A and B are shown apart, each in its own frame.
Chain A
Amino acid sequence: MTQDDIYQKVKATLVDALNRDDDEVTPSSRLQADLGAESIDFLDIVFRLEREFGIKIPRGELFPESIFQGDPSLVAGGKITDKGLAELRDKMPFADPAEMDKFAADPKLDNMGDLFTVNLIVRYLKSKLGV
């Protein structure tokens, strides 16, 4: 399976899960801001990817949740702390380093959703499938 195969399957999955048109989904689309995903959609997407790719995605592996749990050492004043950023990088080794650096420059919790892009899912699956 090539990267493009993965991308096409991810795209089809998101078209189904989020009821979007084919041309609305691009590699850089952000799931929340661009494609309108809500919290339950993330679970739906994970379930669909598991079925589509025949894999198991442990809870929080693709979309880490711990950072959202209001731990004051990870999030303070609406921003992710240095410790939180370290944890995020640790939990999301598959994230695009450039995207992560961009987020780290202004780590507002509100912006965290911008990390969750179509490309992120493709990168995650690449690492998961060993492509």
Chain B
Amino acid sequence: MRWIWIDRFTNFESKKTATAVKSLSHAEDHFGEHFPGFPVMPAALILEGLAQTGGILVGESSNFQEKVVLAKVPNAKFYREAMPGEQLTYTTDVIDLRPEGSVVKGRVTSGDDLIAEAEIFFAYLDQSRSAQLFGDHNFVFSGELKYLLGLAQRAALGDGQKA
């Protein structure tokens, strides 16, 4: 399974806010098992989409030099299920952006409906320790995330609304 849970950014203001959308297709594997005959998106995957949106927002603030990892979800609330055919909008706002870590507040909507809200705490992997373990390669922002990251950067430059 491709581990990318947002489709594209629709808004990106560096160090402030990022909005991404995700269209839910019945063809996605998780709907087959969650649950047979009653397809609803697993809440953890909704949270992952929010974390990817917020993680790129945080990562961009340091020009993707840091390895941003999800450290803690202090709270998350889920208001209703998300079903195939819906388009989720993930909006994340920076609460704290610090060298030690960052916090974003996020909300997930589908049309006018509030689907979920969560606060997400990101930490940065220690540069020297991470180099020992993984080398210089930034494994967090690679592959598919890097593609989206390009879109996010273009959006940040102001020409990416429809990137």
Chain A interface residues (CB < 8 Å from chain B): 16-17, 19, 40-41, 43-44, 47, 50-51, 59
Contacts and interface: CB of A to CB of B under 8 A. Distances in A.
A51 B74 CA distance: 15
B101 A16 contact: no
Contacts of B72: 40-41, 44
Given A40-B123, A43-B101, A51 B96 contact: yes
B24 interface: no
Contacts of B71: 40, 43
B75 A16 contact: yes
Main secondary structure of the interface of A (DSSP, over half): helix
Nearest to A18: B74
A112 to B, nearest CB: 20
Contacts of B121: 40, 43-44
Nearest to B71: A40
A130 B123 CA distance: 31
Interface residues of B, number: 12
B69 to A, nearest CB: 10
A121 to B, nearest CB: 17
B98 A16 contact: no
Most buried by B among A17, A41, A47, A59: A47
Given A19-B75, A43-B123, 19 more contacts: A16-B74, A16-B75, A17-B74, A19-B74, A40-B71, A40-B101, A40-B121, A40-B123, A41-B72, A43-B71, A43-B101, A43-B121, A44-B103, A44-B121, A47-B96, A47-B101, A50-B96, A51-B95, A59-B100
Contacts of A59: 100
A44 B72 CA distance: 9
Contacts of B100: 43, 59
5 residue pairs, one from A and one from B, having the closest CB atoms: A40-B71, A40-B72, A47-B96, A43-B101, A44-B121
Contacts of A16: 74-75
Given A16-B74, A17-B74, A47 B123 contact: no
